[in-house]
A and B are shown apart, each in its own frame.
Chain A
Amino acid sequence: MPPRLRPSNLPSASNVIPQSFSSPLLPFLLPSYHIYTQTPSSSSRNFSTSKPSYRRARFEKTPGTRNGFIDWMKKYGPKLNVPSPLNNVPVYLTRDPPKLPTDKQALKPKQRKNGISRKQAQRDAVDWEAAAKRSTISPFPTNPSFKAHPVISTEFREQIYLRMKADRSVRRISAELNCELERVAAVIRLKEIENRWIAENRPLCTEMQKRVHAMMRVTQYTPFPQHESITDLRIHSATNNQLFLAVPESMPFNRKDAADALGILPADVRMPHSELIEVERMKEAGVEVQEMIKVETEREQREAEEAKAKRERREKRLGAGKVVETERFRFRLKPANAAAVGHRYGVPAEDRKRGINKIPTRVV
């Protein structure tokens, strides 16, 4: 059976020209190939309801192709395209978007106070906390195991920067504000650049920042913010393999023993913010707060000294050889072992070949 025609929603001449419009010129106004319009026909096929096949096949409306896309854009486009979602409730791709939990009672005209517009009343009637909870946090409907994590607000960034200015260490800021160590360091770096731009009178994209943050979940700054886990222990590849170890039944086998058996550092050391374990122990033992602060400050000082010593050692090591500065290069001459076979000139790099492009591996 040949495909049947379906009524169209497309803006065709039949939609543009009202039904009541009748003119002897109508057949000339319409394009001759147009099939959606019922034109008075004087052919011998007056009683036939179907159209000639050569006209039918060309304009068949197939779901999934162009026409289906246009229909979808009409139906779902306005629902899915929400350029400024309200109250940081993100709108992600879903087959059927969840409706906002609205208090129906509050919407009644009698309840509405004077001076509040209908639109404002509608917004006020929405329970935004419930809406934020109900809103989908997975941007891809086909994969529930990817969830969008909130970002930190601009005020939160400011707070991190202020704490840095108040001479607090990155580690301490991270523990106080529940942000990863790397994130705190990065926020400070970015904030420095931002301040430099302000000093240089360079315009900032504050409007874009505002609009982008309005589209996603944002962790606002509170006295004790819960942004993310700061004690995520990276799974060591040595722990992926099985290891059989005979242990006496009566011997306690703890984290340290396990680490020794695997040949890695114990989790208490490898974990970021390992000092929190000591803090918890002190809390358990009932140590006074002043005492705890004193211990922590001492530890911070010790760490800072260690880091400084390490840096100095590194600089000393790097500057050990003779340095010859030319216009283009800085040669660091080191004593080389030329006696071993194949060690004299090293190996020619592949990227010197024709057609192989050299992508740097690091930018300092």
Chain B
Amino acid sequence: MARTKIFALKRPYPRQSWNKQAVYNLFRYRQPTTNRRTFYQQKFRAKQETRRFHGEYLTERKWNSMFRHTLRGVVRMNPKEMAMGDGSAVVAGRGTGMDLLPTRFMGKEGYEESVFTHVRNAAIPFSQMTFAPLERRLDTAVYRALFASSVRQARMMCLHGKVLVNGVKMPHAGYMLNPGDMFSIDPLLVMRAIGDPQRATFKQLSTQAKSDLQKAIEEAQSKTKSSTFLKSSNKKVIAANADAEVDTETFTAAGVKSTSAEGETEGEPAKAEEEESTGGKKKFHLPSDWRSYLPKHPRWKIYDQWQPKRFMNLFAFVPRYLEVNHNICHAVYLRHPVARSGGAEVPNPFNDEMMQLAYTWYLRRR
């Protein structure tokens, strides 16, 4: 069974989460030394450490079946260079290519146009791609697209059927995304997942909100079955409030931000009936149980006053293999992650040596 206590403070492990304790653990995490260890011990330790970060809720057998020893990489090609030569210069001379331009000639006059002025690129960190197959998983992709604050939360969203892939409900967290797949979540869910927990309760109603609410309640009561329907869902109140839905300014006006002069306090809901607005001289006839008609969470408020979750800025990056639109909470998995000279695309707190050891561990008997 997957471990439930994952942010233990006594033995810190890095985890894929924005939890404050996870941040603390990541902050003080030091990679294990390889001194006085056999190669086997080094590999085993590296495998332990990396697996605690990458898909710790997956069994080893599951991960083993996903592991691939082939690692994806790309090389950046220069079209100008390719237009100038047919590539035979690389194997010219004794077969290892012409000498690179000696350092003393670099940047000198007359050598700028040379094909060979480019310096050697940094090595491609292939070992960082060891856990790249996990990035294809739907739950990991949801976390990487900044739609959830931890992989486990993303997994929960999937299992609860909140995540759509190409518009179809996909309740499997282990679905392997194909290049070009689009996944999406309800924006409200995303805003709650990666937003600051909103503890402020719904206390006061502005004049605008009151009139909207009255309209909505009247409409609800005029229909036969919609009264209970209104209570059960937030949508109806908003639907009556369609004008406010578009215009953000009206939103705030209709929201909780009301002046103290108008609106009633929480303790006296019955007063709402006698309440008279100061400006419009309009009388509101709200039923005594008006509170039950309100949405539990004021929907419109979160759209305007969204605050990020604590420590979100430390994890605010989107890998290159995803294209994310937070306006609509949709994202596209462009291609599989690749390694390129100077950097790999798999987010990972472990250095190349450690990942090399872990990769070697999984290479056994393959």
- B residues near A (Cβ < 8 Å) are 9-10, 12, 20-21, 23-24, 26-31, 70, 72-80, 82-84, 86-88, 91, 125, 128, 146, 165-166, 168, 170, 172, 174-176, 178-182, 187, 190-191, 194-196, 242, 245-246, 248, 300, 303-308, 310-320, 323-330, 332, 334-335, 338, 340, 342-344, 346-352
Contact flag A205-B308 (CB < 8 Å), given A232-B75, A254-B87? no
Are B313 and A82 in touch, CB under 8 angstroms?
Answer: yes
What chain B residues lie within 8 Å of A201 (beta carbons)? 242, 245-246
Is the beta-carbon distance between B326 and A209 smaller than 8 angstroms?
yes
Distance, CA A142 to CA B12, complexed state (A): 14
Contacts of A234 in B (CB 8 A): 72-74, 338
A277 near B326: Cβ-Cβ < 8 Å: no
Q: Which of A184-202 contact B (CB under 8 A)?
A: 185-187, 189-191, 193-194, 197, 201-202
Q: Name the one of A72, A142, A204, A278 contacting B328, with C-beta atoms under 8 angstroms.
A: A204
In the complex, are the beta carbons of B328 and A194 less than 8 A apart?
yes
Tell me whether B77 and A256 are in contact (CB under 8 A): no
- Are B74's CB and A233's CB within 8 A? yes
- How far is the CB of B178 from the nearest CB of chain A, in Å? 6
B324 in contact with A151 (CB, 8 Å): yes
Contact A268 B82, beta carbon cutoff 8 Å:
yes
> Contact between A216 and B334 (Cβ–Cβ < 8 Å)?
no
Q: Is A331 an interface residue (CB 8 A)?
A: no
B311 touching A81 by the CB < 8 A rule? yes
| B172 near A360: Cβ-Cβ < 8 Å | yes
Q: How far is the CA of A234 from the CA of B79 in the complex (A)?
A: 15
Determine how close the nearest CB of chain A comes to the CB of B174; give it in whole angstroms.
6
- On whether the beta carbons of B323 and A190 are closer than 8 Å, the reply is yes
Say whether A66 contacts B9, CB under 8 Å: yes
Q: Give the residues in chain B near A20, CB-CB below 8 Å.
A: none
Closest to A252 in B: B88
Query: How many chain A residues have a CB neighbour from B under 8 Å?
Result: 93
Residue of B nearest to A217 (CB): B317
The answer to whether B242 touches A364 (Cβ under 8 A) is no
11 contacts between A and B (CB under 8 A): A142-B350, A143-B351, A185-B180, A190-B182, A207-B303, A208-B326, A232-B338, A255-B82, A280-B83, A361-B176, A364-B166
Contact B314 A146 (CB under 8 A): no
Cross-chain contact A235 with B73 (CB below 8 angstroms): yes
List chain A residues, Cβ under 8 A from B77. Answer: 231-233, 267, 271
Contact partner of B80 among A208, A216, A280, CB < 8 A? A280
Contacts of B72 in A (CB 8 A): 234-235
B181 contacts A69, C-beta separation under 8 Å: no
- Contact flag A205-B191 (CB < 8 Å), given A64-B10, A253-B91: yes
**B10 contacts A360, CB within 8 Å?**
no
B313 touches A81 (CB 8 A): yes
B27 touching A362, Cβ below 8 Å: no
Interface residue? A59 (CB, 8 A): no
In the docked arrangement, what's the CA distance between A41 and B239, Å? 69
CA–CA, A83 and B313, complex, Å? 6
Q: Bound state CA distance, A254 and B90, in angstroms?
A: 8
Asked if B170 and A363 sit within 8 Å, CB to CB, the answer is: yes
Q: In the complex, which residues of chain A have a beta carbon less than 8 angstroms from the beta carbon of B242?
A: 201
Min distance, Cβ A178 to any Cβ of chain B, angstroms: 12
Distance from B181 Cβ to chain A, minimum over Cβ atoms (Å): 7
A157 to B194, CA, bound (A): 23
Question: Nearest 9 A-B pairs (CB), nearest first?
Answer: A148-B317, A280-B83, A215-B316, A186-B332, A255-B87, A254-B86, A140-B349, A276-B79, A232-B74
Are B83 and A93 in contact, CB atoms less than 8 angstroms apart? Answer: no
A92 adjacent to B314 (CB under 8 Å): yes
In addition to A93-B26, A279-B79, 10 A-B residue pairs with Cβ atoms within 8 Å of each other are A145-B344, A145-B352, A151-B318, A186-B180, A189-B332, A201-B242, A212-B316, A234-B72, A237-B70, A363-B165
Q: Do A80 and B325 contact each other (CB < 8 Å), given the known contacts A142-B349, A254-B86?
A: no
- Which partner residue on chain B sits nearest A231 by CB separation? B77
Given A207-B305, A363-B170, are A277 and B313 neighbors across the interface (CB < 8 Å)?
no
- Give A235 to B195 CA distance when docked, in angstroms: 40
Nearest CB in chain B: distance from A139 CB, A: 6
Q: Which residue of B lies closest to A154 (CB)?
A: B327
Interface centre among B21, B176, B314, B338 (most CB of A within 10 A): B314
Q: Which residues of chain A (121-155) have a CB below 8 Å from chain B?
A: 139-140, 142-149, 151, 154
CB neighbours (8 Å) of B10 from chain A are: 64-65
Q: How far is the CA of A240 from the CA of B319 in the complex (A)?
A: 26
**In the assembly, what is the distance between CA of A77 and CA of B24, in Å?**
9
Across the two chains, which residue of chain B brings its CB closest to A275? Answer: B79
Judge if A182 is at the interface, Cβ distance under 8 Å: yes
Are B191 and A255 in touch, CB under 8 angstroms? no
- Contacting pair B176 A146 (CB below 8 A): no
Q: B315 to chain A: closest CB distance in Å?
A: 7
A228 at the interface (CB under 8 A from B): yes
Task: Report the separation of the CA atoms of residues A276 and B77 in the bound assembly, to the nearest whole angstrom.
Answer: 11
CB-contact partner of A69 in B9, B166, B194, under 8 A: B9
Query: With A and B bound together, what is the CA distance between A231 and B79 in angstroms?
Result: 8
Complex: how many Å from CA A223 to CA B174? 42
Contact B308 A83 (CB under 8 A): yes
**Which residue of chain A is the closest to B122 with respect to CB atoms?**
A145
The chain A residue with its CB closest to the CB of B333 is A186
B20 contacts A73, C-beta separation under 8 Å: yes
Question: Are A284 and B84 neighbours in the complex by a CB distance under 8 Å?
Answer: yes
* Closest CB in chain A relative to B153 CB, distance in Å: 16
State whether A69 touches B347 (Cβ < 8 A): no
Instruction: Decide if B79 touches A90 in the complex (CB within 8 Å).
Output: no
**CB 8 Å contact bits of A254-286 with B (1 = contact, 0 = none):** 111010000000011001010011111101100
B348 touches A146 (CB 8 A): yes
- A304 CB to closest chain B CB, in angstroms? 20
Name the CB-closest residue of B to A180: B334
Chain A residue nearest to B80 (CB atoms) is: A280
Q: How far apart are the CA atoms of A349 and B312 in the complex, in Å? A: 44
